Each structure stands twice: as structure tokens, then as C-alpha cells.
Amino acid sequence: MLYVSLASLIWLLDRASKIWITSTMDLYAVRPILGRWLTFTYVQNRGAAFGLLGGQTFMLAMISIGLLVGLFVFRSKLHDLPRGGKLAISLIVAGALGNLYDRLAFGYVIDFIDLQVWPVFNIADSAIVVGAFLMVWVVWRMEMSGEQK
């Protein structure tokens, strides 16, 4: 239940941040946060990460739905994961749900965090990336220890 609560909290933070951005900024507007290092730049991403697969909203939504259905079908296996693996899955699910919501509701994903050296992203994207790296680390640790969970 802790991991479901965490995923729900991240999803809510993602939604709240996107609602705030769209209600306080015009499209393509830029708001400096930490000088030139961090700005909020409101963009609508009609593709996947880095704008890849632009205009493929339906396909990207189906991939997200497929991931979520797969996790639901194999949920009994998730109980065998170590805590880090469960945390990683929670982050990935929260991020996938956040961006899926945008794709289904608007036809694009709302992005706004701009580090100037990286494409503009959002909280959901951050959760997916952190979750994916964490899962790779967990699997690597399991392989190195010979654990068969």
C-alpha cells in the first residue's frame, strides 16, 4: 500500500504542477527560477522523450496502457522484488499515468521544467527516468549477488 500511495502522490504532484503552469503561463512563456540554470518554459510535447515520435499520441498512449496492463497482470511477481524494485515500479507507474492522462485529455504532454541543456520535461518524466535507473541498479545488484528473485 505504501508504494501505491507514493505513486498516487507523485501523480497528484504532476497534475497539480501542470494545472498551475497552464493556468499561470502562456504557451512558450519562460519564467526564470534559478537564473539561467533553471526556468519554467511551458511547452506542449506531442511526442515522446526529446520530442521523438511527434504526432504519435495514440501509439504512445497504447504503449503506456500496455505497460500498465502488463504490470497489473504480473503484479503477483512484483511482491518478490526488493524494496528498491518496488520503489522503481511505483515511480515508473506514476510517471506513465501522469503523461498518459495528458495524452488522453489533451493530445499532448505538458512540459515545463527547463534546465537549458536538456529538453523541457515534467515531474512525470522525472519519475520515469529515476524509476528506470533505479530498476537497472536493482537488477544489477540482484545479478551481482546471485539473487534469483
pLDDT digits (tens, 9 = 90+) for 89-136: 999 999 999 999 999 999 999 999 999 998 999 999 999 999 999 999
Catalytic pick from 14, 102, 114, 125? 125
Q: Is 102 a catalytic residue?
A: no
Residue with cell 496502457: 65
Handedness of CA 132, 136, 141, 147 (dihedral sign): positive
- Which residue of the set 14, 102, 111, 114 is catalytic? 111
Q: pTM (2 decimals)? A: 0.86
125 in catalytic set: yes
The C-alpha atoms of residue 11 and residue 51 are separated, in whole angstroms, by 21
pLDDT per position as a tens digit, 57-82: 777 777 888 888 887 877 777 778 89
